Amino acid sequence: MRPARGTRRRRRRPHPRRRLAFRFSEEPMIRIITLMDNSPGRAGTTAEHGLCFLVERDGRSLLFDTGGSGAFLDNARGLGAEPGAAEALVVSHGHYDHGGGVRALLDRTAFNGPLYTGGGFFDKKWADEEPAPRYLGVDFDGDFLLSRRIEHRTVTASGGDTAFMEALPGVFVVNGFPRLHTRERPNPRFVVDRDGRRTMDDFRDEVCLAIEVPGGIAAVLGCAHPGIMNMLDAVRKAFGKTVVAVFGGSHLVDADAERISSTVDYLGATSCSLAALGHCTGDAGKASLAARLPAYRPLAVGAEYRL
């Protein structure tokens, strides 16, 4: 029915749900795309021993690790992702399966953002194996970055503290993970050339991401050589927030049954509602996580997460 002449149309009040939806739209949009993992996933993609994530927040992105080769770029094309458009690159530590695709990224895309690492990233890293040590480090150095005009930014903690640097709004690169969990012991197989001698690698260069999300922090890990429990504890303490999601590698592949069980217990006792773990987690670790942790999701190439 039309209103009578001379009367004014009454404006409808907005439905409460519309206002609520608008408030939700103000929350940051976070998307994490798995461009490389040990496990095959989406059809048409390639898996290798390595890890790579594209992290997007409110339309801006950074690349976390690059796998062991340039294969992540081919996966990205098939997944509709654009790592070359990322504003920054973070490499979790100086092993080839995380920094092996840096040259390909710079050769095959227009990427020109800064590289974030921990201090000591370029120290030569090895696996102490027989009959001879095997080189595990990356295939580029600081001079290479200078030649490509890539700025190298290091995040270095000191004195047993945790340090962090903001790479994108709400996305932080974190270094320094005090070793408080005694079961997370360093593996003597990993050694490094430092200060003129070869010694057991303490992975002082390892960094992770801490992303501010609704309800707390999402942590993105490379290999978690310092220990996933140590790393998540440090992130929680540094930011004063709960870790509600964790992605990446846990390095349970070389852990004994006791450490695996302790890790699953730890994750189950936290407020972590999503544990998307793969890469160096290992078959035994994955089996235990799948059996006992409802929040666990196996990582695979092409897996995508929205927070």
Assign residue 257 the CATH number of its domain: 3.60.15.10
Is residue 12 in some structural domain? no
Strand partners, 34: 53
Q: Note the pLDDT of residue 159.
A: 87
Tally of CB atoms within 10 A around 199: 10
Return d(Cα 115, Cα 92) in angstroms, integer. Answer: 11
What are the residues facing 108 on neighbouring strands?
Answer: none
Residue 18 lies in a domain: no
Does residue 20 sit within a domain? no
207 is a domain residue = yes
Q: Is residue 199 part of a domain?
A: yes
For residue 11, being part of any structural domain is answered with: no
Q: What is the 3-state secondary structure (H, E, C) of the chain?
A: CCCCCCCCCCCCCCCHHHHHHHHHHCCCCEEEEEEECCCCCCCCCCCCCCCEEEEEECCEEEEECCCCCCHHHHHHHHHCCCHHHCCCEECCCCCHHHHCCHHHHHHHCCCCCCEEEECCCCCEEEECCCCCCEECCCCCCHHHHHHCCCCEEEECCCCCCCEEEEEECCEEEEECCCCCCCCCCCCCCEEEEECCEEEECCCCCCEEEEEEECCEEEEEECCCCCCHHHHHHHHHHHHCCCEEEEEEECCHHHCCHHHHHHHHHHHHHCCCCEEEEEHHHHHHHHHHHHHHCCCEEECCCCCEEEC
The amino acid sitting at 180 is L
Query: What whole-number distance in Å separates Cα of residue 266 and Cα of residue 21?
Result: 35
| Residue 87 identity | E
Domain range for 56 is 27-306
* 133 falls within a domain: yes
Q: Are 125 and 191 in contact (CB under 8 A)?
A: yes
Rg of the chain, C-alpha, whole Å: 22
> What does the pLDDT profile of the chain (307 residues) look like in tens digits?
444 444 444 444 443 333 222 223 356 799 999 999 999 999 999 999 999 999 999 999 999 999 999 999 999 999 999 999 999 999 999 999 999 999 999 999 999 999 999 999 999 999 999 999 999 999 999 999 999 999 999 999 998 899 999 999 999 999 999 999 999 999 999 999 999 999 999 999 999 999 999 999 999 999 999 999 999 999 999 999 999 999 999 999 999 999 999 999 999 999 999 999 999 999 999 999 999 999 999 999 999 999 9
Euclidean distance between CA atoms 76 and 72, whole angstroms: 6
Does any domain span residue 184? yes
Domain tally for the chain?
A: 1
pLDDT at 27: 67
| pLDDT at residue 5 in the model | 42
